[in-house]
Structure 1
Amino acid sequence: MSENNINMKDFVIGTFVGTIVGASIALVFAPKSGKELRGDINEGAQQVKNRAGDWKEIAQEKSSDWKDKAFTTSVEFKKRAMDTTSNITKNVSQKTQDLTKKTQDLTKSISTKFNNEDKTLVEAADSEK
């Protein structure tokens, strides 16, 4: 994309310079008096100035459009990132709660099983005495 912008810029500059040089040469070699020639040169310069003003306005409009598009796109990306982060946070929180509950249930189950086995061993030891 950068190379395309450079090529476009070079084209516009070349067109602008070519227009000025071509108009100047045509005016210099035209069979007119000095006063007429100066008037034509001034008129040509005024036309170039007007065109440059038009190009400036077009460039300003396009840059404003690009700025607005960039702002809109950045707002959309920010919202997506925040939504994604929020969803991930909720999922992690839910998974953590589920894992904590399973760990507690397993601990309770193991504790109950060991307590029952301890009672059985104590009863067996008491019966052997």
Structure 2
Amino acid sequence: MSNEMNTTNGNSYLKGALIGAVIGAAAALLFAPKSGRELRQDIKVKASEAGEVIKTAANTISDTACDCAHTVGHQASQIKEKVQSMTDSLRSRAANKAADVQENIAEAADAARDLTERAAEHTEQAIDAVEEKSKNLLEQS
């Protein structure tokens, strides 16, 4: 963010300096006591100088834009890698949790099956005991 602010301030300063130079040169030419031929020659020279300043400024702006594009591309790549890593991690954790839940369900089903079998055995034993007592009572009577 600070780099972005410095770039913006640098571009603003560069634009201001360029505009000031052009205005100053134009004012100097218009207010200088010279003949028409000398004034035209001075305007030609100053226009050429201004063109060079503009080319330099354009190159600087172009370089800055390329640097910014490179920085943004690099940061986007880093963000993509972080998001991919987080996605992979979350996917792995979810798979592990699903496996844990599945294991817990299987264990609970086994425990329920064991309880059901024991209850069935106890029920059979109780029925056998009742039948035995009933037989004994009938025989005694």
TM-score, normalised relative to structure 2: 0.73
CA distance in 1: counterparts of 2:19 and 2:121, whole angstroms: 103
The one-letter amino acid paired with 1:65 is Q
CA RMSD of aligned residues (A): 2.2
- Mapped pair 1:28 → 2:58: no
Structure 1 spans left out of the alignment, 5+ residues: 1-7
Instruction: Give the share of equivalent positions with the same residue, in percent.
Output: 14
User: How many pairs align?
Assistant: 119
Match of 1:40 in 2: 53
The one-letter amino acid paired with 2:118 is D
The one-letter amino acid paired with 1:68 is E
The answer to whether the 8 Å contact 1:28/1:37 transfers is no
The answer to whether the 8 Å contact 2:14/2:57 transfers is yes
Structure 2 spans left out of the alignment, 5+ residues: 26-45
1:58-96 per-residue CA deviation (whole Å, 9 max, x = no partner) reads 110111111111111111111111111111111210121
TM-score, normalised relative to structure 1: 0.79
Which one has a bigger Cα radius of gyration?
2
Distance 1:15 1:61, change over 3 A: closer
The answer to whether the 8 Å contact 1:27/1:41 transfers is yes
Match of 1:108 in 2: 121
- Mapped pair 1:121 → 2:134: yes
Shift of 1:53: 0.4
Higher RCO, Cα 8 Å, sep 6+: 2
